C-alpha cells in the first residue's frame, strides 16, 4: 500500500508539473498577443503595458517568475478585466460551478444507484438499456432547451435562468444529473449481472445463502468496482460543471469564464483555469484510485 501510494502521488505531481509547463509555453508561443487587437496602440504605451504585465522579459525568466508566483499562490492579474487579480475572477466563478457540480454528483449517484438496483430486481434490464442509450446520447444542446421549454415556459414551474433563488438551480441540476445517473445505473446492472454469473455465487447458493443475501452482501460490493472506476474518471467533469449548461442557463461559472478568456487571450486566467481543471482531475483520480485499490484486493500490486 505504502509504495503504491507514494508512486501514485509522485505521478500525479509529475502530471501537474507537466501541465503547468505545457500550458505556459503553449500560450506564450502563440502568434498574436492580448494587446494587438482592434485599436492600434502607440509603441510607448505598448511597451509600458508589456513592462507592467512582465511580457518584455525572456520566456525563461517569465517561466521561473511564474513558478515562483505560483508557489506563493499569486496567480497574477487578468488583462481582460483591467488588472483585476485572477484569484478574484476565479473565486467568483468557482463556487457556482462547484455548487452545481456537487449537487449533480449527489443526485446522480443517488438516482443512478437506486434506479439501477430497482431495474435489476424487477428484471427489466432491456428497458434500462434503452433508457441508458437515450440519456447517454441526448446532447446537452437538446436536453437543456427542452427542459427550459417544457418546465420553464410551458408549465412555468421553475425559473429559466440562475439567480439567488434555490428553485432556479433545479433545471440545470436536472440536465447535469441525467447522464451520470444513466451511466451509473447501467454500470451497476452490468456489475451485478457479471458478479452473479461467477462461480462464487453458485458456491454461496450451494452453502444455503438466500438470494437476497448473495445479492446485497456479496454481489453489490463487487459491482461497486466498475461504478467507482467510472466515478473516478468522471467526477472531475461532473464537479467542474458543464460548459454548455453554464452557457444555456447563464451561469457565470468556470466553463463560460474559460471560453471568454480563450477568445480574449487572457493568459493569466487561461493558465489558472487550466491548472484548476487539471488539479481537480488529478486529485479526484488519485482519490478514487486509492479507494478502488483498498476495496479490491485483486488489482495487481506492483
Partner 1 sequence: MKSIFYFSVIFLTALGLSIGLVQLLFPESNWQTNVQIAMQSPSFAHIFGTDSLGRDLFLRTVHGAQMTLMMGCVCSLFSFFIGVIYGGISAWLGKLTDQVMMRLMEVLMSLPQLVTIGLLVIFLANRGGGVSGLTGIFKLAFAISLGSWMSFARLTRNLVLKEKALLYVEAAVAVGSTPFRIFWREIGPNLAPSLMIMFGLQIPNFLLFESLLSFTGLGIQPPLSSWGLLLQEGWKSMIAYPHVLLFPSLILFLTVFSLNVIFEQLRRKVLRKFEPIDTHH
Rg of the chain (C-alpha set): 24
Q: Measured from the CB of residue 73, what is the shortest distance to partner 1 in angstroms?
A: 20
Residues in the chain: 302
28 is an interface residue for partner 1 by CB under 8 A: no
Q: Measured from the CB of residue 185, what is the shortest distance to partner 1 in angstroms?
A: 16
Quote the CA–CA distance of 197 and 203 in Å, as a whole number.
11
Residue 56, phi then psi, degrees to nearest 5:
-90, -15
Q: Which C-beta is closer to partner 1: that of 13 or that of 216?
A: 13
Q: Measured from the CB of residue 139, what is the shortest distance to partner 1 in angstroms?
A: 6
Number of residues that bind partner 1 (CB under 8 A): 54
Q: Which C-beta is closer to partner 1: that of 29 or that of 42?
A: 29
Under DSSP, is residue 264 helix (H, G, I), strand (E, B) or coil?
helix
265 is an interface residue for partner 1 by CB under 8 A: yes
**61: exposed, middle or buried (Cβ count in 10 Å: 0-12, 13-18, 19+):** exposed
272 is an interface residue for partner 1 by CB under 8 A: no
149 is an interface residue for partner 1 by CB under 8 A: yes
CA 117, 118, 121, 126 torsion: positive or negative? negative
Residue 97, phi then psi, degrees to nearest 5:
-65, -45
134 is an interface residue for partner 1 by CB under 8 A: yes
CA 135, 136, 138, 140 torsion: positive or negative? positive
Site for partner 1 in 110-129 (CB under 8 A): 126, 129
Q: Any idea which residue has 501510494 for its cell?
A: 5
Quote the CA–CA distance of 150 and 143 in Å, as a whole number.
10
222 is an interface residue for partner 1 by CB under 8 A: no
Residues that bind partner 1 in the complex, under the rule CB under 8 A: 11, 14-16, 18-19, 22-23, 26-27, 30-32, 126, 129-130, 133-134, 136-139, 141-142, 145-146, 148-149, 153, 193-194, 197, 236-237, 240, 243-244, 247-248, 255, 258-259, 262-265, 270, 273-274, 277-278, 281-282, 285
Amino acid at each position: 500500500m505504502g509504495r503504491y501510494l507514494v508512486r501514485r502521488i509522485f505521478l500525479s505531481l509529475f502530471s501537474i508539473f507537466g501541465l503547468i509547463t505545457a500550458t505556459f509555453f503553449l500560450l506564450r508561443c502563440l502568434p498574436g498577443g492580448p494587446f494587438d487587437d482592434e485599436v492600434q496602440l502607440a509603441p510607448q504605451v505598448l511597451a509600458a503595458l508589456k513592462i507592467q504585465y512582465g511580457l518584455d522579459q525572456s520566456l525563461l525568466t517569465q517561466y521561473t517568475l511564474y513558478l515562483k508566483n505560483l508557489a506563493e499562490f499569486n496567480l497574477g492579474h487578468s488583462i481582460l478585466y483591467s488588472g483585476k487579480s485572477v484569484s478574484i475572477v476565479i473565486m467568483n466563478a468557482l463556487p457556482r460551478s462547484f455548487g452545481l457540480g456537487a449537487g449533480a454528483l449527489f443526485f446522480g449517484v443517488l438516482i443512478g444507484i437506486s434506479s439501477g438496483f430497482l431495474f435489476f430486481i424487477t428484471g427489466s434490464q432491456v428497458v434500462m438499456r434503452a433508457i441508458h442509450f437515450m440519456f447517454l446520447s441526448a446532447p446537452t444542446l437538446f436536453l437543456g432547451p427542452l427542459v427550459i421549454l417544457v418546465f420553464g415556459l410551458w408549465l412555468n414551474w421553475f425559473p429559466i435562468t440562475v439567480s439567488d433563488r434555490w428553485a432556479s438551480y433545479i433545471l440545470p441540476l436536472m440536465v447535469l444529473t441525467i447522464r451520470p445517473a444513466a451511466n451509473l445505473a447501467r454500470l451497476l446492472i452490468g456489475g451485478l449481472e457479471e458478479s452473479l454469473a461467477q462461480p462464487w455465487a453458485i458456491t454461496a447458493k450451494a452453502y444455503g445463502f438466500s438470494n437476497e443475501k448473495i445479492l446485497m452482501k456479496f454481489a453489490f460490493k463487487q459491482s461497486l468496482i466498475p461504478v467507482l472506476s467510472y466515478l473516478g474518471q468522471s467526477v472531475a467533469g461532473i464537479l467542474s460543471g458543464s460548459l454548455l449548461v453554464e452557457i444555456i442557463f447563464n451561469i457565470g461559472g468556470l466553463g463560460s469564464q474559460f471560453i471568454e478568456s480563450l477568445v480574449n487571450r487572457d493568459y493569466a486566467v487561461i493558465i489558472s483555469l487550466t491548472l484548476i481543471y487539471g488539479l481537480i482531475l488529478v486529485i479526484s483520480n488519485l482519490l478514487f484510485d486509492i479507494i478502488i485499490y483498498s476495496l479490491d484486493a485483486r488489482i495487481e500490486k506492483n
